[in-house]
A and B are shown apart, each in its own frame.
Chain A
Amino acid sequence: MVKEKIRNYIGENILFNPDGFPYADSTSFLETGIIDSMNVLELVVFIEENFQITVEDPDFTPDNFDSVEKIANYVNRKLELQSAG
């Protein structure tokens, strides 16, 4: 569900691709250059608004933001922490 929302957002708002996000979830943004630093800032706004989480400064790492899969894992971890807390 989280992954799907992220894929749709990137496909519609960043890639402007009528077929959505045409890459694998594991595709590296940095290596392929499909989205840039400004797009990542956009994604952060989208994630914070849609999943009601706050992205903290130390979380801005390629490990958390370099692919759809990594972002989804990050968001899910944050959501789990929130519901546990």
Chain B
Amino acid sequence: MINELVNYSKEALVLDEAIEVDRIIKMLRQIVLLRFHRQGAVVGIDGGVDSAVVLALSALAFGVGRVVGVMVPEREAGEENLRLAREHAEALGIRTVSEDITASLESCGCYQRRDEAIQKLFPRYKSDWKARIVLPSDLTEQGAAHVFYLVMEDPRGVEHREKLTLNEFRQITAASSFKQRIRMSMLYYHADLNNYAVVGSANKNEHELGIFVKYGDNGGDVNPIAHLFKTQVYQLAGYLGGMEEIQKRSHVLDASRSAGSQEESVFEIPFSVLDPIWMGYELGVPENQVAMAVDLETDQVIRIICNIISRKRTTDYLRASMVDVNNFE
């Protein structure tokens, strides 16, 4: 064991794909068919590598005839993502359904409430601009900056940056979360329609760091990849095959996220660095060994680990199920 720790390297993340896939599909069958008595799977597909892997795993577990891939576009979603999602499902022989939720989001006031908050901060903002929230901090630096920024891009491609105030931050995130929550309602419509279970697609990074909307994109009955680091999801994608374009695009998106998004505080360092550090921490590998494996200073590795721990702790609420007051300890 000691020798293993001394020789710690990024290779520790490498899965035996055949064994892992076999284990996951057995568990999916056991949980969905035997425990929940549901007869197949509904997977929300968005053209990303996570949902593509989950779709392929579901097809192996239940057979292509017992899986539905549900695309839930809205007016701000990229069409390229939909195309990738549809083509991948079709290549697998899986039925797809597309449900445009723009009207539902409009009736909830998703766009209007969000834009109202943005315009309080930046009156020139128009609803056809792009906007995202960023936490410009560097996980390798001492402590994280506490200030959130709203980054907007006007139709000419010019970027505008504004510090977020508390009330506006809350209104923007609360309104935007309608998207994930209405998507989840649509997945359950199709799950109930077919007596299927909803199979979720959050990977370990997203799940444990709280990068999701509670009762939104983390909603579902079972998640076959919540234990897998993003780099491992990519590995399974390669093993399962047929996702080359999706993998390539996801890599590009991951890289662009590091330039700023809601996930910036976590993903500003590449998964190829974050994941081995995180795994090393979980295995109890000394920080200096981890640092050597990822070619960083030991101090930087320690700061990243502290940030992971802090992020996990402060997002505990998001992962918590409804609590029964009678069974609360």
List the A side residues contacting B163 at CB < 8 Å. Answer: 57
| B146–A65 CB distance below 8 A | yes
| A33–B142 CB distance below 8 A | no
Chain B CB within 10 Å, residue with most, of A38, A42, A65, A66: A38
List the B side residues contacting A65 at CB < 8 Å. Answer: 146
List the B side residues contacting A57 at CB < 8 Å. Answer: 147, 163
Q: Which 7 A-B pairs have the closest CB atoms?
A: A62-B143, A40-B146, A36-B314, A60-B147, A41-B166, A30-B143, A33-B313
B144 at the interface (CB under 8 A from A): yes
- Contacts between chains A and B (CB distance < 8 A), count: 42
- Give the distance in Å from the alpha carbon of A61 to the alpha carbon of B141 in the complex: 11
Closest Cβ of chain A to B258, distance in Å, is: 19
Closest Cβ of chain A to B54, distance in Å, is: 30
User: Interface residues, chain B, CB within 8 Å of chain A?
Assistant: 135, 142-148, 163-166, 169, 306, 309-310, 313-314
A16-73: which have CB < 8 Å to B? 30-31, 33, 36-38, 40-42, 44-45, 57, 60-62, 65-66
- Give the distance in Å from the alpha carbon of A62 to the alpha carbon of B309 in the complex: 18
10 further interface pairs, Cβ-Cβ under 8 Å (given A41-B164, A41-B165): A30-B306, A37-B144, A37-B314, A38-B166, A60-B146, A60-B147, A61-B145, A62-B144, A65-B146, A66-B143
Closest Cβ of chain B to A31, distance in Å, is: 7
Cβ-closest chain A residue relative to B164: A41
List the A side residues contacting B143 at CB < 8 Å. Answer: 30, 62, 66
- Give the distance in Å from the alpha carbon of A36 to the alpha carbon of B306 in the complex: 13
- Give the distance in Å from the alpha carbon of A73 to the alpha carbon of B212 in the complex: 36
List the B side residues contacting A42 at CB < 8 Å. Answer: 166
Chain A CB within 10 Å, residue with most, of B144, B166, B309: B166
List the A side residues contacting B166 at CB < 8 Å. Answer: 38, 41-42, 44-45
List the A side residues contacting B147 at CB < 8 Å. Answer: 41, 57, 60
Cβ-closest chain A residue relative to B314: A36
Closest Cβ of chain A to B243, distance in Å, is: 35
Which listed residue (A31, A37, A45) contacts B146, Cβ 8 A?
A37
List the B side residues contacting A60 at CB < 8 Å. Answer: 145-147
Closest Cβ of chain B to A35, distance in Å, is: 9
